[in-house]
Amino acid sequence: MSGYWQNFDLTQGINILRLICGLFFIPHIYAKFFVPEALGFFKAAKFNPPAVWMYTACVIETILSIGLIFAILPFYAGVLAFIHLLVAGAAVWKVTNCKWLWNIGGFEYCVFWAICCLIVAMHYSADAMPFLPFK
């Protein structure tokens, strides 16, 4: 398999990870538009004005999702997703008073997916920055 379609070769583990990282943003994008409690989270995290920050996060997540799913600048999408998810994790940490486990509202979910996005970025780093000494 060659060309662009190799990015969707599911026999390559990195493609599966990249696709899942991108696809897992979709429920969060949806929630920001259709779940009223999403705005409450931004209020609780003291993002002011909360609606502006919520829609900004939604735009960022949409761009990251498209970049990761379709392998458009995957190094940059992975790095930005890593940073975005760390910020989200810090906000969850603040709102939940330092809870770790995701099933009780903690920031474990954000940290896990941040690491996954970083792994995707690391895989594509040599393509984006050929001067790096590792690959």
Nearest to 14 by CA among 132, 83, 131, 117: 117
Helices (H), 1-135: 13-23, 26-34, 37-44, 50-69, 74-95, 108-128
Residue 24 has pLDDT above 70, yes or no: yes
Say whether pLDDT at 54 is over 80: yes
pLDDT at residue 90 above 80?
A: yes
Is residue 21 over pLDDT 90? yes
pTM of the model: 0.88
